[in-house]
């Protein structure tokens, strides 16, 4: 999920970007009107957060330009908190509005609400540590790296591992979750699946940093932070 954040205050922009990145969003930034429009066209973000007061222009212009070509949710930020701004923003097609100062938690709650309203929240996405699994797109993103494409079985395996991040998941449970039933004696399948998954997601597949083996028990997803 990609979010465009526009603000001319470097500190606030960094804070917003950090909060969003922590929550698993990809953030693209801009500091004025022209760069915001350029980035929007180039990156096609899923949501835009626009400061109203910008050097040489306002967030209203950006909002208006975005609305002409797209229906992505737009959230406006303002320090003023005046009703005029609010009404004007909503009339221009903005979807929400936040008054500075705001807490990162509030920002995230509102962003999530907007995405859900827009029907963009996949419903099927989970994350743990720096891992973000998209169950619908079958992709895994490790930290800020490019998403990796996964197969159906790999997705199912990661689903249960991420759901139990940091804890050992027994071989039997893995087998039944991924293949659902089976003589459940088929450990070879699991070996292969883990092997193939490691080739895709581990930096050094011979020395797994994420998908740890718990000898005699099962596997464990190691999450830092």
Where on the chain is the footprint of DNA (CB under 7 A)? 149, 151-154, 171, 179, 186-189, 191-196, 198, 205-206, 213, 215-217
- Where does this chain touch a copy of itself (CB under 8 A) — which range of 27-35, 41-49, 54-62, 178-186? 41-49
Q: 83: how many CB neighbours lie within 10 A of its CB?
A: 8
Is 82 a binding residue for a copy of itself by CB under 8 A? The answer is no
Residue 196 interacts, among DNA, a copy of itself, none and using kind-specific CB cut-offs from 5 to 8 Å, with: DNA
Question: How far apart (Å, rounded) are the C-alpha atoms in residues 58 and 76?
Answer: 10
Residue 80 interacts, among DNA, a copy of itself, none and using kind-specific CB cut-offs from 5 to 8 Å, with: none
The mark string for 1-20 relative to a copy of itself (x by CB under 8 A, - otherwise) is --------------------
Is 110 a binding residue for a copy of itself by CB under 8 A? The answer is yes
Q: Which is nearer to DNA, 43 or 179 (CB)?
A: 179
Question: What pairs with residue 78 in β-bridges?
Answer: 99
Site for a copy of itself in 131-170 (CB under 8 A): 134, 136-139, 149-152, 163-164, 166-170
**DSSP secondary structure string, the chain?**
-EEEEE-S-HHHHHHHHHHHHHTT-EEEEESSHHHHHHHHHHH--SEEEEESEETTEEHHHHHHHHHHH----EEEEESS--HHHHHHHHHTT--EEEESS--HHHHHHHHHHHHHHTT-S-S-EEEETTEEEETTTTEEEETTSPPEE--HHHHHHHHHHHHTTTSEEEHHHHHHHHH-SS-S--HHHHHHHHHHHHHHH-SSTTS-SSEEEETTTEEEE----
Is 23 a binding residue for a copy of itself by CB under 8 A? The answer is no
Residue 57 CB, nearest approach to a copy of itself (Å)? 20
Contacting residues toward a copy of itself, per CB under 8 A: 41, 44, 46, 69-71, 73, 83, 86-87, 90-91, 93-96, 103, 105-106, 109-110, 112-113, 116-120, 122, 124, 126-129, 134, 136-139, 149-152, 163-164, 166-170, 173, 214-218, 220, 223-225
């Amino acid at each position: 999920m990609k979010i465009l954040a526009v603000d001319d205050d470097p500190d606030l922009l960094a804070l917003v970007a950090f909060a969003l990145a922590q929550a698993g969003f990809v953030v693209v930034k801009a500091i004025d009107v022209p760069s915001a429009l350029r980035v929007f066209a180039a990156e096609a973000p899923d949501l835009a957060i626009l400061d109203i007061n910008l050097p040489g222009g306002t967030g209203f212009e950006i909002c208006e330009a975005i609305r002409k070509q797209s229906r992505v949710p737009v959230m406006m930020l303002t320090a003023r908190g005046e009703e005029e701004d609010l009404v004007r923003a909503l009339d221009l097609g903005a979807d929400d509005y936040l008054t500075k100062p705001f807490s990162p938690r509030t920002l995230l709650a509102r962003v999530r609400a907007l995405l859900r309203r827009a029907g963009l929240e996949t419903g099927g996405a989970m994350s743990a540590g720096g891992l973000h699994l998209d169950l619908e797109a079958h992709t895994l993103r490790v930290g800020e790296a490019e998403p990796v494409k996964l197969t159906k079985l790999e997705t199912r395996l990661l689903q249960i591992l991420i759901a139990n991040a940091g804890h050992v998941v027994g071989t039997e449970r893995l087998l039944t979750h991924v293949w659902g039933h089976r003589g459940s004696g088929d450990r070879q399948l699991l070996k292969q699946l883990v092997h193939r998954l490691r080739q895709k997601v581990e930096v050094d597949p011979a020395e797994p940093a994420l998908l740890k083996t718990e000898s005699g028990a099962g596997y464990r997803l190691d999450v830092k932070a």
